[in-house]
Amino acid sequence: MLTKRERAAIKCAERRYNFSELFLFLVFRRPHKGLTVLRDIRYGEGKHAFFDLVIPEGGGQGSPVFVYIHGGGFVSGRRHNRLYYCYEWADKGYVCANIGYDYALDAAHPEHLRELFAGLDRALTEAEKAGADTSRVVVAGDSAGGYFTAMLAAVSTHPELYEKFGIEFSRQETFRPAACITISGLFDPVRAVGTRFPEMALFTRALLGMSQKEIDEAKGDEEFERFVSAERYADAAMPPFMVVRSSADRLRSESESFAAALTAAGVPCRTFLTKGINGVHAGALACRLAKSGRDCLAAALDFAACATSGRLSAAEKGEDTND
């Protein structure tokens, strides 16, 4: 259980990071001429249990679906800032769902997963109303959203986890992502503390709703590690992944470890290293800012197109697509 002091620190971090994200609007914003944007569709009772739906010009008949999960260290994150990344995908014919979830003080692991699956359920229903093909779903996320993307993939390919995590999902018999994309993700929150990413220890405590003492006592316990680590499920059952990491990001090693685990398990996996201005944490989201971001988006779109059309080679072994 979090101490009073830890809860206060988490609340302070939420305010700081959400304030700083206000300025990202200036970097990410772009017009969305021709797209239909349905904002703030409620899917649950949580404070942030909303999603946005973006339908491509001409409608979504037969379109694949792109699902996006925002980051924010589990304690923050402005969903609407990611709409502009979704517009890039909608321009290429995807029906996009941009899903929010409650911050850590209102939801400890695995409650976020329960929320996200509820959001996914409703979003896919709305996408079907627009004519989308929900057998072709690409799931993506940045930072903490990358963790949730990997966990969503793990749950959907290891159905025993639905019961383990108490997840209700009407599509659990049929749903499996066609592909997943992670941007500056983390895949073992306890291990990630060792990267010295700013405030990572606080983020991990917030996610788990555990004090540092409780986490230290649980380290090394097999059941605990399988409860919190997405990488523990990186086996042959997982869907194809594109793992994006940034050159100047302290969490870079998390992406490298996860990609290596997927490759060792025989999962088709592509990787991309963003550089320069886009080389900061989650810099790939600024996909119009510089060449590296533009190249990363192009690589992600190509990866998704291959995965959703059955053209992805099982022999792909995690080599950087930009090397």
- Kindly state the average pLDDT of the residues 304-317: 83
Q: How far apart are CA 41 and CA 54, in angstroms?
A: 11
pLDDT at 318: 62
CATH domain 4-320 topology: Rossmann fold (3.40.50)
DSSP 28-93: H----TT-EEEEEEE-SSSTT-EEEEEE-TT--TT--EEEEE--STTT---GGGGHHHHHHHHTTT
Q: What is the pTM of this model?
A: 0.96
Torsion of CA 283, 289, 292, 293, to 10 degrees: 60
pLDDT at 228: 98
pLDDT at 315: 59
Q: Find out whether 53 and 120 touch, Cβ atoms under 8 Å.
A: no
Q: How far apart are CA 67 and CA 179, in angstroms?
A: 11
**Residue 268: count of CB within 10 angstroms of its CB:** 22
pLDDT at 29: 73
- Structure tokens given for 276: 């320069």
**b/e burial code for range 207-219 (CB count within 10 A of at least 16 → b):** bbbbeeeebeebe
Q: 320 or 50, which is more confident?
A: 50
Q: How far apart are CA 31 and CA 70, in angstroms?
A: 20
Residue 170, pLDDT > 60, answer yes
Residue-range domain boundaries for the chain: 4-320
pLDDT at 80: 92
Average pLDDT taken over every residue of the chain:
95
- Kindly state the average pLDDT of the residues 170-195: 98
Q: Is the peptide bond before 110 cis (omega within 30 degrees of 0)?
A: yes
